[in-house]
Structure 1
Amino acid sequence: MGPEEHAALTAAKARLDRLSFYPRPVALRRTVRILSVPWLFRLPWFSRFDGYTMWDLILLRAPLAQASDDLICHELCHVWQMQHRPLAMPLSYLYRGYASNPYELEARRATASTAGPSGGPG
């Protein structure tokens, strides 16, 4: 893990650590990674997203240097959700959809409630 990736994950974790959504704080472990894969976001399913999380892997449309702190926080919240509900969370998108999915709403709430007064991380 490079220093930029480590700094982004550490900052997002600090934001999420202020919340009590789950019994244990998000674990960064060595396996949480951030990759920029712009080609993936050209595919129809992914084209509407700027970030996408697969368990401990955060995929970004843009390079990490261009990703907002809020996007990293939102995606790391999904990692946290999957650390506590590794099957229920991803499967919920199949039967609940995206817009009103409780896990999606929770990640949005986590980002909004930990943002600073200027809209950045608090």
Structure 2
Amino acid sequence: MSQLINRKSNLALRRRLRSTMTTPEQRLWYYLRDKQLGVKFRRQHGIGPYVVDFCSPDVKLVIEVDGDSHYTESGIQHDRLRDDFLHRIGMQILRFTNHEIMTQLPAVLATITQHLAKQPPKD
């Protein structure tokens, strides 16, 4: 899977996305960073041809923050293709809307924490 992670071809995009994170992404990152939930998360992480918002490779979890662009016809199609790809390589995906993060952050964090609690222990 190492050839799938952080390809050089999308390095500029990953850097740009990290420097222009949306307010909901910044807010969630504050709680995901530094192993605050018990696992390491990476932000704007490249997996294959895609860049995901947050990823914990150790537990094969992707967290996506969906803004308005995800609800257009092309956004829905892009998300479907990306989700299919990520599922094929064994990743699980949790999706939250911008609105959920801004208005229901404790519930979002509880959902993530519950998901992580169900993961088998690492070797």
Fold similarity call, TM over 0.5 = no
Greater strand fraction, Structure 1 or Structure 2: 2
| TM-score, length of structure 1 as denominator length | 0.29
Greater helix fraction, Structure 1 or Structure 2: 2
- Greater RCO, CA 8 A, separation 6+: 1
| TM-score, length of structure 2 as denominator length | 0.28
